[in-house]
């Protein structure tokens, strides 16, 4: 794992040089495809039961693994994880579960899939604190490294200024790697930075990244992203770009506080605004955007479902199913298994909006990018509640020589549209999209 030096130009025309984490994960250019246990937890405000966890794993294995969804991850409600080992590290997602991480990781691996873990290595459980466990590789104990501010009554924060904090943080990362996890979802980063400051926050992420190397994917959740995401670019593989999915629906996709910008987390409240704005730092070897989870069953129409899925695929985001075996229907499954769109993720494709100004409704809703084979992929989105005309000029906006378009393919209709002269124009229904793939004649 190395670092890439990049230049970020802000809207104030200030030029900032940043060293970005250049890992094997960011080199792929797109996020993982996986299932996460979010939906049950948010709907019931408790950790997912073990029996339901297994049923969902089996369901993903039987219905989605062949399409590339090859990872399973827990999510949140982690306060119930108070069963620890001698070093103070949690051994189960929930203390009420019969089986721990080792058992379930083996279960997942035996089905030919990978395991991800939701946790923050800066956390120390109430049990670890009260037991005052020894910090591995040091002569200090858990209470010696606990900070003044706690996350909540069940989880303390570790203060990076304390002797032994580095060993605790790196030890936790190494512990997860040794358990076979390949993805680490690190949440509530804004809370740590708010209480302990940016310098300590950066130090913590630096230690996590040093231990992670290319062995485990680092997903940074709820980051403040101050100064053009300077800290996050250095130490993360992927960042959340907007507020949580919560109840899902069109509100999550486009409407929630549309056009409002915050100075800290969440910078944006809906995922479309977030993708537009953060697209300027998303690039191979640099950063992957995370649009959070999809609860496809909460979308009202097939057009809304296609819109959401297209957005996740075309931006290079992680493609994460949060629906469950008993909350989904066949139409949603058909959306999730569109092979022509999933190919974009598999080849590391991430488009850019023509404009990353969230107030430029015409150009920020038109996304363009090139595939490794030279084909163009264009995403045209209508965020409005009324029909609009949208399109792309091949010559002036893509630089394609006039008359060289061999074929245009509609990736939702799965139809070849043939050659079109110089531009593609379409009327988009409310809350709908078109994703097309343009093949150009290559002259030798």
Helix (H, G, I), strand (E, B) or coil at 28: helix
DSSP letter string, 313-358: HHTT--EEE---TTT--HHHHHHHT-HHHHHHHHTT---EES---T
Helix (H, G, I), strand (E, B) or coil at 175: helix
Q: Which residues contact 100 (CB under 8 A, 6 or more apart)?
A: 83, 91, 92
Which member of 70, 187, 292, 323 is catalytic?
187
Rounded-to-integer distance, Cα 309 and Cα 84, Å:
39
Q: Which residues contact 271 (CB under 8 A, 6 or more apart)?
A: 241, 242, 252, 253, 254, 291, 292, 311
Rounded-to-integer distance, Cα 379 and Cα 288, Å:
18
Parallel, antiparallel, or unpaired: how do β-strands 217-220 and 238-240 relate? parallel
The torsion angle over the Cα atoms of residues 39, 365, 399 and 5, rounded to 10 degrees, is -60
Which member of 22, 75, 159, 237 is catalytic?
237
Instruction: Give catalytic status of residue 187 as yes or no.
Output: yes
Residues in the chain: 444
Instruction: Give catalytic status of residue 290 as yes or no.
Output: no
CA-CA-CA-CA torsion sign (15, 16, 17, 23): negative
Q: For 112, list phi and psi in degrees, rounded to 5.
A: 80, 25
CB 64 within 8 A of CB 101: no
**Which positions are annotated as active-site residues?**
187, 237
């Amino acid at each position: 794992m190395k670092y890439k030096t990049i230049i970020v130009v802000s809207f104030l025309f200030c030029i900032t040089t940043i060293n970005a984490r250049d890992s094997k994960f960011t080199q792929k250019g797109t996020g993982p495809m996986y299932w996460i246990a979010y939906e049950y937890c948010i709907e019931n405000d408790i950790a997912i039961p073990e029996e339901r966890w297994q049923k969902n794993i089996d369901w993903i294995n039987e219905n989605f693994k062949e399409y590339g969804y090859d990872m399973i991850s827990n999510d949140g409600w982690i306060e119930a994880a108070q069963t620890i080992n001698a070093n103070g590290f949690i051994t189960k997602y929930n203390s009420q579960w019969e089986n721990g991480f080792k058992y379930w990781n083996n279960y997942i691996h035996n089905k030919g899939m990978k395991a991800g873990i939701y946790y923050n290595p800066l956390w120390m459980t109430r049990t670890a604190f009260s037991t005052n466990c020894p910090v591995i590789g040091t002569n200090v104990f858990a209470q010696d490294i606990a900070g003044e501010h706690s996350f909540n009554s069940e989880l303390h924060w570790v203060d990076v200024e304390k002797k032994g904090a580095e060993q605790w943080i790196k030890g936790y990362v190494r512990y997860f790697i040794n358990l076979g996890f390949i993805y680490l979802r690190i949440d509530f980063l804004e809370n740590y930075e708010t209480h302990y400051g940016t310098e300590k926050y950066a130090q913590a992420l630096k230690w996590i990244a040093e231990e992670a190397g290319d062995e485990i994917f680092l997903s940074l959740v709820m980051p403040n992203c101050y100064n053009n995401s300077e800290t996050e670019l250095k130490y993360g593989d992927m960042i959340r770009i907007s507020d949580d999915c919560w109840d899902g629906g069109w509100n999550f996709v486009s409407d929630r506080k549309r056009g409002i910008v915050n100075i800290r987390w969440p910078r944006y409240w809906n995922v479309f605004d977030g993708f537009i704005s953060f697209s300027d730092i998303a690039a191979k070897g640099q950063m992957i955007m995370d649009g959070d989870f999809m609860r496809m069953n909460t979308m009202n129409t097939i057009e809304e479902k296609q819109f959401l899925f297209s957005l996740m695929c075309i931006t290079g985001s992680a493609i994460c199913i949060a629906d469950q075996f008993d909350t989904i229907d066949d139409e949603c499954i058909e959306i999730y298994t569109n092979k022509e769109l999933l190919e974009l993720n598999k080849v590391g494709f991430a488009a850019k909006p023509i404009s990353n100004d969230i107030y430029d409704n015409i150009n920020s809703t038109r996304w363009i990018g090139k595939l490794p084979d030279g084909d163009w992929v264009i995403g045209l989105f209508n965020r409005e509640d009324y029909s609009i005309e949208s399109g792309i000029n091949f010559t002036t906006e893509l630089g394609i020589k006039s008359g060289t378009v061999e074929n245009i393919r509609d990736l939702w209709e799965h139809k070849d549209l043939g050659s079109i002269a110089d531009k593609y124009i379409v009327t988009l229904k409310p809350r709908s999209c078109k994703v097309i793939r343009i093949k150009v004649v290559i002259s030798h």
